[in-house]
Structure 1
Amino acid sequence: MDKICPTLFAGALCCASPAHAQSDAPAPVTLSATYTVDAVTVAKGAGGARSYVLHDVEAEAGFDFDRLIGASGLTGGVHLLATAGGAANNAAGTLQGINNIEVAEHRAKLYEAWLEQSLAGGRVSLRLGLSDLNAEFYQNDAAGLLIAPAFGIGSELAATGPNGPSIFPSTALTARVNVQLGKRGYFRVAAVNAHAGVLGDPNGVDFSMRDGALLIAEGGTMMGGKLALGVWRYTRRQDDYRATTPLGEPVKRVAAGGYLLVDQKIAGGEDRSTHLFLRAGLSEGRTTPFRGGFQAGLLMQGVLPGRPDGQFSIGLQHGLLTDCYRAAMLDAGVATDDGEMGLEITYQDRLTRFLSIQPDIQYIRRADRTGGSRATIVFGLRLIAEIGG
């Protein structure tokens, strides 16, 4: 599998237009590719000190069908993905993971494929297709530099559904409507197939909707950054983590939750700025390991003199476990605290026009109370090669 990543990346480089060939006018077709490689060392964790290398290759194409075929307001996108590397979290032993490109099974796949129609003079848009839920819902721009998965989407939502919601590394069929309210307000709602799966996964795309749908809505304002509230609910009841019927089958529960997002610029100008993010989420506490959690942190841009592309970020996250999950773990002989906490510090800077480097440090206080120290310490170094876009 390690050979797939460089091969796909090389192909994307060949087909992407070089930057000097692009004009100021938007092109009807845009191409881009990204290759991310992480060197991860778990210096202290549940499985002893070990090192890993992880790969993520992504290639994207965007289409403006107005300019291509005269279809007014119609755009589209295709996103390919391939991953490789080791399972670093096996050594770390955390519940929420330590690396946002680590996956359980490595495959080359079609990650996203969608069409979007703009309506009402651009104030309304409708998107249909395979889409990453976290690109538009439960998302903080200021947390985007951090590598721990908990900063991507709240764990109380990420751990739901038959095989996880429509997020990395497998999306699901989605219908999304976005409405612009005034100059800065927005409201968006989506119905997402509860069973994630794409071309490249063992069972491909699920068209049956046999597991129901995830309904999610978010509204807020982009004034100074973002202030938003979101709610979500599955249309089909999910298995309780512990409770069973007299026949020994899991009790079915309504799976639902909500979240709050704050993402604001608090200091600085265009070249040097500081952004604050805060967010918190809750679930119903019966169908997911996490009853909720919070994440908070800062993103500072241009922190070093003469390094305008340098970005520094620090983040704190805490995932709160449900009582039923803790009881199920105790039945298996594993005692846990009521939550898992992590602190991450990272810095990213551009070495060349297309290459960035990012050292990273994480400290996680694991929920597992079995055995000795529950501290996990992770050192990482990320290299990102980009072209096009």
Structure 2
Amino acid sequence: MKNKIRCCALLLAAALLPASPAASREAPAVPGLDLSALYTADLVGIVDGGLEEGVRATDNLEVAVDADLSELAGWKGARARIHLLSNRSGRPNELAGTIQGINNIEVDEDRSKLYQLWIEQSFAEERVRLLLGLADLNAEFYQNEAASLLIGPAFGIGSELAATGPNGPSIFPSTALTARLRVAVGKDGYVQAATVNAKAGVLGDPDGIDVRMKDGLLLIGEAGWTRTGKLAAGFWRYTKRQPRFLLSEGEHDRHGEIAQGGYILVEQPISIGRAEPLHLFARVGFSDGETTPFRGGWQIGGLWPAPIAGRPDGQFAFGINRGLLTSDYHLLVSEGSATGGEDEVGFELTYSDLVAPFMTLQPDIQYIRRPGGDPRTKDALALSLRVRLTLP
């Protein structure tokens, strides 16, 4: 706890530095380089239901350097990113007992690491872009901007994909070696595809970066249209078989299964008079249902910027998610009971606002029905407060 307090104090002091003209003169900006830092701290309380009532804290420190190599080194059409993470987790989901999680910065192990390291080259007046390196798959694939404020992990990337791979796919908190090609189609369309190492791992993880790729590859493609909102569809597939999630008594898994699936998503702004438009989204995903507990899932919700007059930086968001669990998983959690298990459903309401030039506060409430898909576990009510400190 003392270390967390010291860390918060140091980051708060650092965030105040840009307000000083003297400090700005001493550290002028470098053309072509953009340094950013973000510290996020969450206090999460399970106030009713779940496995156990209690309060946990978790945090995440990010430092990133974005380089415009055209301006910095004369390399036309090239840019690069270095992105570092440091996570400390109180594991709030241990109290909630959900299968999809309740906090999108929660990690299993406290660790500092390299998160992203990539270079991207654009061609044909930036209509074609090739990226190589360690990259977050969810930054471009299976992504809804209108869901970005929500804290529930299922609103980031569908659980049926997030649960795959030997160490998860190339998403938070560990990425993998990636080659991604994105091509603009007409004025508002795009197609993109990526080849990703099936085993995520970066410098700072126990096994580091997997350069041998002995577990094969994750192949993913997406096509979309973005004129007024977003309409997109994607498909993903692993090149090597993975162990089945659950075997029957006496059954042997000699070959495993090919994990694969797809998704469709839509996002659309809706005019509500003179106020900012309400951005609604809906997504549905499906998978093989053999290598993870999920056969699919869906999420719906919306984001409303500036809902309160006089608070231009405020944002309100709401969402509902449902993890569609396999019949084998239902039997597992119900210990073979004839009643079986049920799908886990989450409801979330959240509001974020800038309370200082460097600080954002975000209270959040989540209600999870049937945590873990187990009908014997009481529905969970989670209250959170997220604090973000930024360093320009």
TM-score computed with the length of structure 2 as normaliser: 0.91
Please report how far the alpha carbon of residue 354 of structure 1 lies from its aligned counterpart in structure 2 after TM superposition: 1.3
Aligned mates of 1:5, 1:59 — CA distance in 2: 19
How far did residue 3 of structure 1 move?
3.5
Is it true that 1:223 corresponds to 2:227 in the alignment?
A: yes
**Equivalent residue, structure 2, for 1:185:** 189
CA contact (8 A) 1:326 1:336 kept: yes
SS in 2 for 1:96: coil
Q: Which amino acid is the alignment partner of residue 265 of structure 1?
A: P
Q: Give the Cα separation in 2 of the matches to 1:9 and 1:222.
A: 42
Number of positions where the alignment pairs a residue of Structure 1 with one of Structure 2 = 386
Q: 1:30 aligns with which of 23, 28, 34?
A: 34
Residue in 2 that maps onto 1:81: 85
Answer yes or no: is the 8 Å Cα contact 1:99–1:147 preserved in 2. yes
How far does residue 292 in structure 1 lie from its aligned partner after superposition? 0.5
- Relative to structure 1, the CA distance from residue 74 to residue 317 in structure 2 (aligned partners, 3 Å threshold; closer, same or farther) is same
Cross-structure match for 1:120: 124
Q: Tell me if the contact between 1:36 and 1:56 (Cα under 8 Å) persists in the aligned partners.
A: yes
1:198–1:6: structure 2 CA closer, same or farther, 3 Å change rule?
farther
Q: CA deviation at 1:266?
A: 1.0
CA distance in 1, matches of 2:372, 2:280: 30
Would the alpha carbon gap of residues 371 and 158 (structure 1) be closer, same or farther in structure 2, given more than 3 Å must change? closer
Q: How does 1:84-123 map to 2 (within 5 A)?
A: 84-123=88-127
User: Which region of structure 1 is more displaced relative to structure 2, 47-56 or 71-80?
Assistant: 47-56
Q: Is 1:303 aligned with 2:302?
A: no
Counterpart of 2:282? 278
- Could you tell me which residue of structure 1 aligns to residue 269 of structure 2? 265
Distance in structure 2 (CA, Å) of the matches to 1:334 and 1:113: 50
Which residue is equivalent to 1:72?
A: 76
Query: Deviation digits for residues 27-72 of structure 1, max 9, x if unmatched?
Result: 4000000011111111123332100111110000001111121111
2:325 to 310, 321, 327: 321
Equivalent-residue separation in structure 2 for 1:71 and 1:30 (angstroms): 17
- Name the counterpart of 1:354: 358
The C-alpha deviation readout for 1:183-212, integer Å capped at 9, x for no partner, is: 110111000100000000011000010000
Would you say the 8 A contact 1:326–1:335 is kept in 2?
no
Inter-partner Cα distance in structure 2 for 1:62 and 1:5: 29
Deviation at 1:322, TM superposition (A): 1.3
Q: Would the aligned equivalents of 2:263 and 2:283 in 1 still touch at CA under 8 Å?
A: yes
**Aligned pair partner of 1:289 in 276, 288, 293:** 293
Of residues 342, 347, 365 in structure 1, which corresponds to 2:346? 342
Task: Give the conservation status (yes or no) of the 8 Å contact 1:364–1:377.
Answer: yes
Give 1:228-243 correspondences, 5 Å limit.
Answer: 228-243=232-247
Give the Cα separation in 2 of the matches to 1:12 and 1:131. 29
Q: Which amino acid aligns with 1:354?
A: F
Give the secondary structure class of the aligned counterpart of 1:238.
coil
Work out whether residues 133 and 167 of structure 1, in 8 Å CA contact, stay in contact via their aligned partners in 2.
yes
Instruction: Please tell me the root mean square deviation across aligned C-alpha atoms, in Å.
Output: 2.8
Distance of 2:274 and 2:358 partners within structure 1: 22
Partner of 2:61: 57
Asked if structure 1 preserves the Cα contact closer than 8 Å seen for 2:174 and 2:200, the reply is yes
Deviation at residue 298 of structure 1 after TM alignment: 1.3
Check if 1:44 corresponds to 2:48: yes
SS at match of 1:67: helix
Q: Distance in 2 between matches of 1:40 and 1:246?
A: 42
In structure 2, C-alpha distance between the alignment counterparts of 1:342 and 1:120, rounded to whole Å: 44
Find out whether 1:134 has 2:128 as its counterpart: no
CA–CA distance in 1 between the matches of 2:355 and 2:16? Answer: 21
Which runs of 5 or more structure 2 residues have no equivalent in the other structure?
none
Once residues 4 and 50 of structure 1 are traced to their aligned partners in structure 2, the CA distance between those partners, rounded to angstroms, is 19
Aligned to 1:381: 385
What CA distance in whole angstroms lies between the structure 1 residues aligned with 2:373 and 2:222? 37
SS at match of 1:233: strand
User: Would the aligned equivalents of 1:45 and 1:93 in 2 still touch at CA under 8 Å?
Assistant: no
Q: TM-score, length-normalised on structure 1?
A: 0.92
Partner SS, residue 98 of structure 2: coil
Q: For 2:85 and 2:173, how far apart are their aligned partners in 1?
A: 8
What is the correspondence of 1:195-234 to structure 2 with a 5 Å cutoff? 195-234=199-238
Maintained 8 Å contact 1:244/1:251: no
Tell me the distance in 2 between the aligned counterparts of 1:76 and 1:382: 30
Within 1, Cα distance between the matches of 2:163 and 2:244?
13
**1:12 touches 1:59 (CA, 8 Å); kept in 2?**
no
- Residue matched to 1:249: 253
Give the share of equivalent positions with the same residue, in percent. Answer: 48
Aligned ranges 1:2-41 → 2 under 5 Å: 3=3, 18=18, 27-41=31-45
What's the offset of the Cα at 1:372?
4.8
Q: Contact conserved, 1:5 with 1:56, CA < 8 A, in 2?
A: no
- More displaced, 274-283 or 80-89? 80-89
